């Protein structure tokens, strides 16, 4: 299965470990930005001379999202301030393309509460969701109001057995 991981440039090393773990079980990454040393995704120097480089990087990321089967958003710790927000643009693009979406971590945006988006706190949770298909395909017998009344962001992991084939 092909996957794309979106996340903060500052969490790149951590995200590389997630990528490596998923590749170790045979999945294929379409996440090209992780291979950059200090490239166009580092926008600390936004001078006009670099705009073409930034555009090319954005186009490469969008291509990676188009090529993936599963889009994974690595959420930031809500207690740590974050700059940038390209990961949210990427998630919106994945939503528009109808990709399977998994948020790893806490909700950072109202869009992560959409019923077709899976949320988990662990890499094992990501792997379970990827292995068992989009959870929303199995929700046809659920009361949709249930999704918005859960009191924990960990409900996907806690309820996973309920939806196992």
Tell me: the pLDDT tens digits for 101-123? 999 988 888 888 888 899 888 99
- pLDDT higher for 78 or 117? 117
Sequence-separated (6 or more) residues with CB below 8 Å from residue 79: none
Its domain, for residue 64, covers 2-36+52-163
Q: What distance, in Å, lies between the first and last C-alpha atoms of the chain?
A: 19
- pLDDT higher for 18 or 84? 18
H/E element, 135: none
139 falls within a domain: yes
Indicate whether 137 pLDDT > 50: no
Indicate whether 160 pLDDT > 60: no
Domains in the chain: how many in total? 1
The Cα 8–Cα 123 span in angstroms is 17
Domain holding 112: CATH number?
3.40.50.450
75 falls within a domain: yes
- The DSSP bridge partners found for residue 101 are 71, 117
6 falls within a domain: yes
What pLDDT is recorded for position 38? 63
pTM, to two decimals: 0.75
Tokens of 28: 């294929």
């Amino acid at each position: 299965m092909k996957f794309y991981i979106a996340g903060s440039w500052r969490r790149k090393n951590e995200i590389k470990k997630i990528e490596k773990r998923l590749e170790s079980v045979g999945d294929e990454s379409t996440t090209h930005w992780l291979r950059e040393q200090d490239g166009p995704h580092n926008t600390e120097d936004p001078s006009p001379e670099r705009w073409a480089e930034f555009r090319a990087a954005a186009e490469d990321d969008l291509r990676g999202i188009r090529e993936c089967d599963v889009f994974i958003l690595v959420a930031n710790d809500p207690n740590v301030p974050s700059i940038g927000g390209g990961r949210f643009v990427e998630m919106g693009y994945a939503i528009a393309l109808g990709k399977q979406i998994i948020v790893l971590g806490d909700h950072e945006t109202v869009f992560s509460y959409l019923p077709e988006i899976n949320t988990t706190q662990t890499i094992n949770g990501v792997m379970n969701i990827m292995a068992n298909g989009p959870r929303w395909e199995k929700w046809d017998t659920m009361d949709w109001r249930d999704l918005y009344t859960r009191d924990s962001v960990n409900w996907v992991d806690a309820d996973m057995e309920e939806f196992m084939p």
